[in-house]
Amino acid sequence: MPCLQKCSKRTNSEESVFQAEIKRVALENGKLIGLEGDADLQFLLKGGDLQKVRSGSWKKSRFFKLQEDCKTMWHESHKALRSDQTFSLDDIESVRRGRQSEGLQKYTDDMVEDHCFSIIFKGHRKNLDLMANSSEEAKQWVHSLEKIISNMDNLNSHQKTEHWIFNCMRKADKNDDNKMSLKELKHFLRHINVEVDDTYAEDLFAKCDESESGTLEGHEIKQFYNLLTHREEVDVIYTKYAGTDGKMSSEDLLNFLLKEQRESVSVDDAVQLIQKYELDESAKQKKQMTKDGFLMYLHQPEGMIFNHEHRRVHQDMSQPLNHYFISSSHNTYLMEDQLKGPSSTEAYIRALMKSCRCVELDCWDGPNGEPVIYHGYTLTSKVLFKDVIKAIKEYAFKTSEYPVILSLENHCKLDQQKLMAHHLTSILGSALLAQPLGYQMPTDFPSPEELKGRFLIKGKRLNKLDSFFSPNSVEEDESVSEEDEAAEAPKENEEKRKSKKSKKIKLAKELSDIVVYCKSVHFSGFDHARDNQDFYEMSSFKESKAMNLAENSPTAYIHHNMDKLSRIYPAGSRTDSSNYNPVPMWDAGCQIVALNFQTRSKEMDLNQGRFLPNSRSGYILKPKFLRDKASTFNPITLTRGEWLQHKILHVMVISGQQLPKLNKDKCKSIVDPLVKLEMYGVPADVANKETHYIENNGFNPTWNENFKFDVHVPELALLRFVVEDYDSTSQNDRIGQYTLPFTSIQNGYRHIPLLTKNGDVIPSAGLFVHTMVLDA
């Protein structure tokens, strides 16, 4: 790809031709992404100087510009072995204007607030902190980047594929003559992740080389593109139902939707789909859908495996808070492991932006009288408590408007506890729930709907909740035991741990008083909890304790969670911040099943899948049998009841599209993809299936394999698709995955997006399947 890096000296005429080609390519890409002639796109293509901020002493001017593919940002680097550096717009999670990163807050002055902005990357890549020459320029950079990213995200699958293939072809055009030789065609095929034998490549080339010139150009390249992206499996489906002059009429489409997709729709719904997704205006006027329009529909929300009705808040949000599964984070402050990893406000922002609704704050006495957050007795870095609260206030409700629980692990002395309470009340203001709702002593939790936009504090409390309504209420001992979790610090010896469990700490009344619906208490058994604990008194369980209760006393645990909240947390021995399987905890009705959000894992995939529906609000209403006090549900030993809705799921894995290379630096590293299907839920429903692997084809592999699953408790089941690169000598590498609740599966021919380890969508990549859910 042509770029700004140093290269061999060109003559004036060669440079003129080169620059003309750059402009032509940028123009073509502008068209492909729907921004032809756009002023913001032109601003980025032109580029400009920005000051890169790394520390108080490292602030250096660097030139940034968008490359002609309209997808890759280039910036100069003065490192000895590298004269340039690039990153893809696909890798950007967000662009934040102002001093909203830790680096800019630490290394720049308040006076340059409106000159600053940060580029936040997905995964573990460091933020890019930048400063423009003026407020207007900073605003222009942020607006332009957000516009291009948003536009790219909103492209349909066909447009993304066309844009991607156009740029892959250009990379394969080694001599920049806008023609493709046979050698370049072979190089291009390897680049898009498909290895073919010479005979096939030669046949494909000959079929398109109508001029017999030995190169492909103009419409011949277009023909090659059409052959390459042809979806035979979609042709078969379309032809079966296109009964009107080779096109689908609205009645034909309705027939398809009723028979194949098993949807309850009318002819009006079919007409709406045609109006929405048909590309040909003439066909649209005749209420017909062409093959291109049909393929477009299959790639839209209505054609995806995930029920598009579940993209909105579709559940009852007026039930008591403990009737919901709540997306929850453990050690939220950590970016990496819990021994020596960095603590950061950024970790809170990332969790909250993924709709996490319960975050953890490990609070310790800090220097200069200011409490800090870090993993005690370890080498993790520290972050100021007040900075964390400011970040939480800023980002808590950007992706979900439902309440956020701040789980305090308090190890501070009285003075700093009082300062914690001050920061919470002054920063969070009226959003902090500091007293019960209503004018009389509550007997149950308020609902997520009633608590929209509010913060709840989970922690120790000196007295009962009725003290808000009884001025003469007796206050308990001002000393309280530390949370059980405090004993989980991995560096402590056994004696310290034992003393920690019985250790008492003084609790500041100011901090105690803002704990309302989430008072932390020690768990002493289900009978004790039933007879002695109020509904708002909740316990935390280490994973091993919770697993033991879920396996040996599941019905009792379920009934405990009908009245009270339970929080589960990973064992302190997980020094690498790995995760436990959350599914058995959900099966037992536990609401706050806290995972290490900073660690991408199968367990986090399951968490993301669990909270995928309901507008990703972070709240999922538990099934009725986990809320009804008359329920006798036992996930381990299934008996007859409303939970037993035996279903048969048939899945045909048909094909894959544009699966990414795992080693992009090696042109010849073509993937050998296979698909694993994993069912999670009650023990009787757990199952695994697997396709065969396809050799040397990540572009358009075809499997056509059928699988069957028996699902007894569908309301607790999750289905996970995993695409891997087969390796006969070592463990398979993961290409992508997608997890969704069983109850959100749509029947029929469906596309499945694929997600990275970080949970972000892989552009253009996906699976095509046929699903059918039947009553057993």
Over residues 764-773, the pLDDT tens digits come to 899 999 999 9
Whole-number pLDDT of residue 472 = 67
pLDDT band at 493 (very low <50, low <70, confident <90, very high): very low
Residues 146 and 193 both lie in one domain: no
Q: Is 454 annotated as a binding residue?
A: no
Residue 508's pLDDT is 95
**Residues 464 and 561 occupy one common structural domain:** yes
Question: What CATH number does residue 57 fall under?
Answer: 2.30.29.30
φ and ψ of 23, to 5 deg:
-65, -40
- Tell me whether residue 506 is annotated as binding: no
Q: How far apart are CA 267 and CA 250, in angstroms?
A: 6
For range 723-748, the mean pLDDT: 95
Please state the rounded mean pLDDT for residues 351-367.
96
Contact 326, 619 (CB under 8 A): yes
Give a yes or no: residue 106 inside a domain: yes
CATH number of the domain that 761 lies in?
Answer: 2.60.40.150
Give how far the C-alpha of residue 123 lies from the chain's centroid of Cα atoms, to the nearest Å: 11
> Which pair of structure tokens corresponds to residue 480?
């309280």
pLDDT at 664 over 90: no
Domain boundary among 303, 329, 352: 303
Average pLDDT over residues 695-720: 96
Residues with active-site annotation: 330, 375
Which residues make Cβ contacts (< 8 Å) with residue 350, sequence separation at least 6?
Answer: 93, 597, 598
In tens, the pLDDT along 193-208 reads 888 778 888 888 999 9
How does the average pLDDT of the chain come out, rounded?
Answer: 90
Range of the domain at 110: 12-154
pLDDT for res 84: 56
Whole-number Å distance between alpha carbons of 389 and 424: 7
Residue type, 249: S
Residue 637 binned pLDDT confidence (cut-offs 50, 70, 90) = very high
Give the DSSP letter of residue 687: E
- Measure the CA–CA gap between 749 and 261, rounded to whole angstroms: 7
d(CA 424, CA 410): 14
647-661: average pLDDT:
95
Q: Which of 694, 660, 690 is nearest to 675 (CA)?
A: 690
Judge whether 54 is annotated as a binding position: yes
- The band of 478, judged by pLDDT with boundaries at 50, 70 and 90, is low
Whether residues 572 and 692 share a domain: the answer is no
The pLDDT assigned to 750 comes to: 98
pLDDT of residue 227: 86
* Contact (CB, 8 A) for 418 and 508: yes
Confidence category of residue 473, pLDDT binned at 50, 70, 90: low
d(CA 4, CA 347): 35
Phi, psi (5° rounding) for residue 438?
A: 90, -175
Q: Does 114 carry a binding-site annotation? A: no
Does the pLDDT at position 27 exceed 70?
yes
Annotated ligand binding at 721? The verdict is no
> Is residue 530 assigned to a domain?
yes
User: Which pLDDT score, from 0 to 100, does residue 481 have?
Assistant: 57
What is the identity of the amino acid at 672?
D
Over range 100-107, report the average pLDDT: 91
Q: Binding site annotation covers 53?
A: yes
For the segment 327-335, the average pLDDT, to the nearest whole number, is 94
The whole-model pTM stands at: 0.91
pLDDT tens for residues 675-693? 999 999 999 999 999 999 9
**pLDDT-derived band at 76, boundaries 50, 70, 90:** confident
Averaged over 414-443, what is the pLDDT? 96
pLDDT of residue 491 exceeding 60: no
- d(CA 633, CA 588) in angstroms, rounded, equals 9
Residue type, 455: F
Whether the per-residue pLDDT at 498 is higher than 60: the answer is no
Same domain for 437 and 505? yes
Given a cut of 50, whether residue 1 has pLDDT beyond it is no
Instruction: State what percent of residues in the chain have pLDDT above 70.
Output: 93
Q: What amino acid is encoded at 405 in this protein?
A: I
Dump pLDDT digits (tens) for 516-553.
999 999 999 999 999 999 999 999 999 999 999 999 99
Same structural domain, 48 and 182: no
Across the range 574-597, mean pLDDT stands at: 95
Instruction: Judge whether 635 lies within some domain.
Output: no
* Rounded-to-integer distance, Cα 149 and Cα 35, Å: 12
What is the pLDDT, as a whole number, of residue 167?
84
* Domain match, 239 and 360 both: no
Q: How far is Cα 634 from Cα 639, in angstroms, rounded to an integer?
A: 7
User: Can you spell out the DSSP letters for 634-683?
Assistant: -SSS--SSTT---EEEEEEEEEEE-PPPS-TT-TT----EEEEEEEESSG
